[in-house]
Structure 1
């Protein structure tokens, strides 16, 4: 398992726009389409990564808890599907349906969106405020495969709760850690 950390895009960065295929319903969605009333969470994930599989239930729980509070969620896979066929759009749809993702699962075929967000690993998490300014980037929590720490979503929950209550979000944020994004040659 490769252990690649997040690049930690500068706080305050405006969310890069995109228009990507939602593999679940075959509609194209833009950042404007998925923008939440109070905040937006963008997650770079994929099907085959053991780090993502480890936190799947945590991501689902997080979205289920915060969507009713005005936070929207979208997952994006940017992996090279030619060399990593488990991450194909067809299998993305299957994964989303089997796991019951309560968010769109978007396919970044050109990898331009991952580059715009400076995404480095799966999972890689970003929280934007209602004005689409970056307020958090980093880990879901301290849990990793085989480290014995339960998946709670603590780091992101703390940031989302602060965002919703208007409190300051701590700027000391820990990078996510996972498999590197599988870039095309």
Structure 2
């Protein structure tokens, strides 16, 4: 009976070893795909391109700002941390020339309403472009799980830093943007 058990132990070990080799080879040589889904935006990778409209109806395409530092802030009017950091973002928008830095607020309009967005912009005196993500597609592409979420994007279109939650302080934003501006040609 011991030889019977020993035989099955060896067969089981062999099957397990072959299975492990098969899994390893399959993983090593499988094509890298995302199943049609957009990969999660990560630091060091290109920011997913998008095109959104502002309140005035003008279209803004992210890739049109290559060569500049871009700060994207995803927000909603009902979000307390968004409200807390918005004055600092507004102040920051007047510090850097538009030839170097583009600052955009991306409103989660699918979770907000247009009247509240307009009231928010008036309340905070926002002068930088506010883009409306009416169907939530850009929030989904960027996989926004919490508001506010901010992306610092370099002149090559690569994400250099992501800050989830807030509020960001003016000093934190200035430091990140200043570093990216120093790298401009």
Q: Tell me the TM-score normalized by structure 2.
A: 0.68
CA contact (8 A) 1:124 1:139 kept: yes
SS at match of 2:70: strand
- Selected match of 2:43 from 2, 8, 11: 11
Consecutive unaligned residues in structure 1, runs of 5 or more: 1-7, 82-86, 145-150, 168-185
Matches within 5 A, 1:20-31: 20-23=52-55, 25-31=56-62
Task: Write out per-residue CA displacement over residues 19-58 of structure 1, whole angstroms, 9 at most, x where no aligned residue.
Answer: 21202x122222134x264311111011111111111111
Matches within 5 A, 1:141-156: 144=167, 152-156=169-173
- Selected match of 2:142 from 108, 117, 124: 117
Consecutive unaligned residues in structure 2, runs of 5 or more: 1-39
Task: Write out per-residue CA displacement over residues 56-93 of structure 1, whole angstroms, 9 at most, x where no aligned residue.
Answer: 11111122112456110111122534xxxxx2123313
Is 2:160 the counterpart of 1:160? Answer: no
Please give the alpha-carbon distance, in whole angstroms, between the structure 2 residues aligned to 1:52 and 1:36. 26
Please give the alpha-carbon distance, in whole angstroms, between the structure 2 residues aligned to 1:115 and 1:13. 17
CA contact (8 A) 1:39 1:127 kept: yes
| Larger RCO of the pair (alpha carbons < 8 Å, separation 6+) | 1
- Selected match of 1:134 from 140, 146, 159: 159
Matches within 5 A, 1:88-99: 88-99=113-124
Match for residue 60 of structure 1? 90
Please give the alpha-carbon distance, in whole angstroms, between the structure 2 residues aligned to 1:75 and 1:157. 16
SS at match of 1:42: strand
Label 1:96 to 1:36 Cα distance change in 2 as closer, same or farther (>3 A).
farther
Aligned-residue Cα RMSD (Å) equals 2.5
CA contact (8 A) 1:40 1:71 kept: yes
Q: Tell me the TM-score normalized by structure 1.
A: 0.68
Label 1:48 to 1:126 Cα distance change in 2 as closer, same or farther (>3 A).
same
1:12, CA displacement in angstroms?
A: 1.5
Paired residue total: 145
Match for residue 19 of structure 2? none
Structure with bigger gyration radius: 2
Please give the alpha-carbon distance, in whole angstroms, between the structure 1 residues aligned to 2:114 and 2:181. 33
When structure 1 is superposed on structure 2, of 47-56 and 158-167 the one drifting more is: 158-167
Q: Which has the higher helix share?
A: 2
